[in-house]
Amino acid sequence: MAELLVKNACVIDPLQGIEGDIMDIAIRDGRIVESVRNGAEVIDAQGFLTMPGGIDSHTHICGTKVNFGRYMSPEDMRAGRTVKRGKMHATSGYSVPTTYGNSYRYSVMGYTTVLEGAMAPLEARHTHEEFSATPLQDTMANTLFDGNWPVMEAVKEGDLKRVAAIVAWILEAVKGFAIKLTNPGGTEAWGWGKNVECIRDTVPYFGVTPAEIILSLVKANEMLRLPHSVHLHCNRLGIPGNYSCTIGTFDLIPDLNRNRQSLYATHVQFHSYGGSSWPDINSKAEPVAYAVNRKPQIVIDMGQMMFGKTTTMTADGPMEFNLYRLYHNKWSNHDVELETTSGIIPVLYRRKNLVNCVMWSIGLELALLVKNPWQCLLSTDNPNGAPFVKYPEIIALLMSRPYREKEFATLHPHTGSRVLLPSIDRELDWNEIAVMTRAGQSRALGIDRIGKGHLRAGAEADIAIYPLRIGDTDPSREYEKVIGAFRKTMWTIKRGRVVARDGEILVEGKNATIWVRPTVPEPYRMEQDPDFVRNFERYYTVRMSNYPVQHHYIPRNICIETEAVL
């Protein structure tokens, strides 16, 4: 029986409503318990800030496109190297680190659970192989359904039950966690080098609209009673004037679930642009935030952009090609039969570039204008807006108006006429930051019920202790101190074990993969559906029997079983 007692912790745990109480946390065999025996190992947290382990609800760290980002970018690999030391493997990479690089850097920042934002079902095995090499976080994968042929056919027939049944079969087969839609319909159109404009456009050949795909899957998601909602990357990413498409998409979504949102819209910074072309781009964070404020059924994440070099990678293939035509750097694309696509290009976000400055402002504006922090979570769409190692700076920007002003003064001189940021006084507090970096993610993903994102008895003992006393810190003035503290925990505890101490990784670790298994009634089992099977064997290039990911690939896993109501 492994027991640990964290004493004198200054705990912020929004899911339990704890806002800075000094308390002890008892841990036995990887879980939080009421008490432990005398003689348990003791960590004295000395009143330092203690929170549940961080959760990233949208990041790109594992799988085909992420690895291709590394593969095509030796220059990025050279920009972030560390040597083999102690329990740590050698790592490479700055914006797309190797799996161990990701895992160590997240762990040092106190993150213990991460969600890979986009997994093509056909290539799921790859994602799971990389998860196994990401040992210090629990992992889960959004599964792409944006251009799925059988799903689009069922949507066209208006057969919601069939949509749900197909999703159920694929999620279980690929050991996925949630439904992801990336530029729904647009990824199929990209198979012909085309795209869709917005939600009312029609997908070539299939004759369905993005709106129909989105709404069908939002409903199917609830029929399957999945822990997370549909996770949407809206159409029209990164195009001036796209905010109206974003708001139009939000307007589609009914409120279907009492416990959480019905739609998670990701990296909304990239979807909140006004203007009609790059020269007149401006911020439309206000109407987008206003729409979110009126709709409890929507949760968004920021997709904050930070200045510097990074690599963009998304299942939105046509968007990446457009970006390539702006940057003329290098471009990779990878279309996946019957399912989706992806694209990658390296970028440099510059303070001298007005568009980049507007993007930077919009992300922060969204977080400051959405009233309820549970509805706007902190992210950079790692590494698209910036590598996740920039999170501490984003936290400080949200907590400090002076820091924002100092940064704003360095931007392109015309930025002020395009954005709202200078007029916003709000400074987020510690509790709001805790919501935006763990508790909100836990609730939005529906993993609070499996003990993630809080420190209630029975929860997973994933804990981050930061070298900062909230009582003696004024984050508005002392933003540098805030940045330093969130960069490096004193202790990161994963499953009841100290895995990182003052920036050093102490254990090899082993991840657990969280996945869902929705059970559907007998007539809806797709493996017995003659049409589904026939088309699968005819149009995929792998046999249906070779498609499902074997349990071998998820040696340690947490399966969330649901009973579908069809």
Partner 1 sequence: MIYHDVLCPFCACLCDDIVVEVEDGRIVKVDNACDLGTHKFMSDEKLRSPMRRERGVWREVGMEEAISRTVEILLDADRPLLYGWSSTHVEAQGLGIRIAEVIGGVIDSTTSICHGPSILAIQEVGHPGSTLGQIKNRADLVVYWGCNPIEAHPRHLSRYTTYADGFFLNKAFRERKLIVADTRRTQSARIADEFLLVKHDADYAILGAIRAIVRGQTDMIPPSVGGVPKQQLLRVAEMCKKAKYGVFFFGMGLTQTAGKYKNVRNAIELVIELNRHTKFTLTPMRGHFNVYGFNEVCTWMTGYPYAVDYSRGLAFYNPGETTAVDILARGECDACLVVASDPAAHMPKKAVAHLSTIPVVQIDPQINLTSAFCELLIPVATTGIDAEGSAYRMDGVPLRMKAVLKNVHPTDTDVLGEIYRRIRGAKGCG
What are the residues binding partner 1 (CB under 8 A)? 62, 64, 67-68, 70-74, 77, 81-85, 89-93, 97-101, 122-123, 125-126, 129-130, 133, 149, 190-193, 205, 321, 324, 330-338, 341, 344-345, 538-543, 545-546, 550, 552
For partner 1, the closer of residues 50 and 134 by Cβ is: 134
For partner 1, the closer of residues 136 and 434 by Cβ is: 136
Residue 56 near residue 382 (C-beta atoms within 8 A): yes
Tokens for 232, please give them.
Answer: 């949407």
Q: How far is the CB of 101 from partner 1 (least distance, A)?
A: 8
Q: How far is the CB of 329 from partner 1 (least distance, A)?
A: 8
- CA-CA distance, 98 to 186, in Å (whole number)? 30
For partner 1, the closer of residues 90 and 565 by Cβ is: 90
- CA-CA distance, 241 to 359, in Å (whole number)? 13
For partner 1, the closer of residues 40 and 173 by Cβ is: 173
Q: How far is the CB of 66 from partner 1 (least distance, A)?
A: 8
Q: How far is the CB of 330 from partner 1 (least distance, A)?
A: 4
For partner 1, the closer of residues 410 and 550 by Cβ is: 550
For partner 1, the closer of residues 40 and 72 by Cβ is: 72
Q: How far is the CB of 57 from partner 1 (least distance, A)?
A: 22
- CA-CA distance, 324 to 521, in Å (whole number)? 46
Give SS3 for 317. helix
For partner 1, the closer of residues 43 and 120 by Cβ is: 120
For partner 1, the closer of residues 118 and 445 by Cβ is: 118
Residue 466 near residue 45 (C-beta atoms within 8 A): no
Q: How far is CA 265 from the centre of its chain?
A: 10
For partner 1, the closer of residues 278 and 331 by Cβ is: 331
Torsion of CA 380, 382, 388, 392, to 10 degrees: 0
Query: What letter does residue 475 receive in the DSSP assignment?
Result: T
For partner 1, the closer of residues 97 and 110 by Cβ is: 97
Task: Tell the burial category of 97 from Cβ atoms under 10 Å away from its Cβ (0-12, 13-18, 19+).
Answer: buried
- CA-CA distance, 155 to 153, in Å (whole number)? 5
CB atoms within 10 A of CB 104: 26
Tokens for 272, please give them.
Answer: 């909140």
Task: Kindly calculate the radius of gyration of the chain based on its CA atoms and give it in whole angstroms.
Answer: 22
Q: How far is the CB of 71 from partner 1 (least distance, A)?
A: 5
For partner 1, the closer of residues 23 and 72 by Cβ is: 72
Please report which helix (H) or strand (E) contains residue 285, including its range.
Answer: helix 285-294
Q: How far is the CB of 342 from partner 1 (least distance, A)?
A: 10
The H-assigned helical ranges of 72-185 are 74-78, 99-108, 124-132, 149-156, 160-174
β strands within 205-328, DSSP E:
230-233, 263-265, 273-274, 282-283, 298-301, 308-314
- CA-CA distance, 431 to 439, in Å (whole number)? 10
> Which residues make Cβ contacts (< 8 Å) with residue 379, sequence separation at least 6?
56, 57, 58, 59, 266, 267, 301, 302, 303, 304, 385
The pair phi, psi for residue 494, each rounded to 5°, is -125, 125
Q: How far is the CB of 170 from partner 1 (least distance, A)?
A: 16
For partner 1, the closer of residues 537 and 563 by Cβ is: 537
The pair phi, psi for residue 200, each rounded to 5°, is -100, 0
Q: Which amino acid is at 543?
A: R
Give SS3 for 295. coil
Q: How far is the CB of 546 from partner 1 (least distance, A)?
A: 5
Please report which helix (H) or strand (E) contains residue 536, including its range.
Answer: helix 530-539
Q: How far is the CB of 258 from partner 1 (least distance, A)?
A: 39
Q: How far is the CB of 195 from partner 1 (least distance, A)?
A: 12
Q: Are strands 49-52 and 513-519 parallel, antiparallel or unpaired?
A: unpaired
Q: How far is the CB of 282 from partner 1 (least distance, A)?
A: 29
